[in-house]
Chains A and B, each alone.
Chain A
Amino acid sequence: MRVGIVVFPGTNCDYDTFWALKLAGLNPVFLWHKEKDLKDVSAVILPGGFSYGDYLRAGAIARFSPLIDRIFEFAEKGGLVLGICNGFQILLEMGLLPGAMLPNDTNTFICKPVYLKVENNDSPFLRKYQVGEILKMPIAHKEGRYYIPERDLLALEREGQVVLRYVGPKGESDLKFNPNGSVNNIAGIVNKKRNVMGLMPHPERAVEKLLGSDSGLRLFLSLLD
C-alpha cells in the first residue's frame, strides 16, 4: 500500500515517518508540496516539522501549498489523511478538522514522552488499539494547545471525535498530565467521517523499543487493513 508523505520547506519528520511506514510493511513515497497530484497513494501523511518556519501561525502558510487542494479533494472523497504535529496544525488551518492550535500554556517548547489514552478506536488509524489502552509517545512542539469553542467542543466529544487524550502513566485523568493546556486534555481528534485524523504526539518516533516505546507502530499497521 502506497502512502504519501508530504514535504514542505521546514518539514523535519519526513524521514522518521518514512522509516516507520517501512517498518510497518507499507510503501512510502515523498510528495513535494508543489506537486500537482498524489501519485495514486492510498493514504496521505502530513508529517511533523516547521513548515515555512511556522511564521504567522503554525501551518498557516503551508495550507496554501498547491498539493493541499488535491489533499482536500482526496479527503472529501474518503481518502485517509493523517496529520502529525505540524501536520495536525495544517489540517486545522485547512478546516479538514475543527478547532485551532495555540501556543503552549507553558510559553515553552516541550519535548518529552507523554502518556495517552485511546478514547475511541473507531477509525482506520486506530483499529489495532484497544479502547482505554495507555500509549507512550513523545511530544515536541511549541504550539500544541488545542482549542475549540465550548459549543463545538461538546459536539466533538459527543460524536466520539476525541480519540487520544493526555493522561498519567497509569491512565489517570488529571489536568496535571496535560502538557500544553489543550482543552479537555485533547491530544488527537478525527473528523466525523473518521478518515482524517490529527494528533500532536509523534507515533513515528515510537515504533521500536530501542526508541523508548513502540506504542506508535500499530497506528501505521492499522493503515494496512
Chain B
Amino acid sequence: MGKWWVKLEIFLKEGILDPQGNTINSALHSLGFEEVEEVRMGKILKLKMEGETEEEVRDKVKRMSEIFLANPVTENFEIKVEKICE
C-alpha cells in the first residue's frame, strides 16, 4: 500500500460568471498587466491518502469529486496524483 498526494483542482465551468476572477483581472490591468485576458479563480484541495496504484487512487478521488467535492452543475475538476517516496 503506497501513500499519495492528490491535488484536486475545481473551477467554475466556462461561461459561468466568475466575479472573483474578474475582480483580480481588473486589478492586474490597473497594475499595467494589460496582456492578461481572463482570470478564473477556483479551489485546490490536497488529499493525502493510501492506495495500491495510481489508477485506484485517481478513481477514488474521481468518485469523491462526482458525489461531493465538486458540483457537477457548475464546476469542472482535474485530478493530479503524486506518489510519496518514503
A-side residues, CB < 8 A to B, are 56-57, 60, 64, 93, 99-100, 102-107, 145, 147-149, 181
Across the interface, which residues of A come within 8 angstroms of B69, CB to CB?
A: 56
B-side residues, CB < 8 A to A, are 12, 16-17, 19-20, 23, 68-69, 71, 73-74
Question: What is the interface of chain B mostly: helix, strand, loop, or mixed?
Answer: mixed
Contact between chains at B68 and A147 (CB < 8 Å): no
Q: Which of A93, A102, A106 contacts B16 (CB 8 A)?
A: A102
Q: How far is the CB of A107 from chain B (nearest CB, A)?
A: 5
Which residue of chain A is the closest to B23 with respect to CB atoms? A107
Contact between chains at A104 and B71 (CB < 8 Å): no
Q: How far is the CB of A42 from chain B (nearest CB, A)?
A: 31
Q: Which of B12, B19, B74 contacts A105 (CB 8 A)?
A: B19
A and B contact pairs by CB, cutoff 8 A, 15 listed: A57-B71, A60-B71, A93-B71, A99-B73, A100-B71, A100-B73, A102-B74, A103-B20, A104-B19, A105-B19, A106-B19, A107-B20, A107-B23, A181-B17, A181-B19
Q: Which of A60, A64, A100, A107 contacts B19 (CB 8 A)?
A: A107
Which residue of chain B is the closest to A105 with respect to CB atoms? B19
Q: How far is the CB of A175 from chain B (nearest CB, A)?
A: 13
Q: How far is the CB of B51 from chain A (nearest CB, A)?
A: 22
Contact between chains at B19 and A103 (CB < 8 Å): yes
**With A and B bound together, what is the CA distance between A104 and B17 in angstroms?**
10
Q: How far is the CB of A97 from chain B (nearest CB, A)?
A: 11
Across the interface, which residues of B come within 8 angstroms of A107, CB to CB?
A: 19-20, 23
Which residue of chain A is the closest to B20 with respect to CB atoms? A107
Q: How far is the CB of B32 from chain A (nearest CB, A)?
A: 23
**With A and B bound together, what is the CA distance between A148 and B13 in angstroms?**
12
Across the interface, which residues of B come within 8 angstroms of A104, CB to CB?
A: 19
Across the interface, which residues of A come within 8 angstroms of B73, CB to CB?
A: 99-100, 147-149
Across the interface, which residues of A come within 8 angstroms of B23, CB to CB?
A: 107
Contact between chains at A102 and B12 (CB < 8 Å): yes
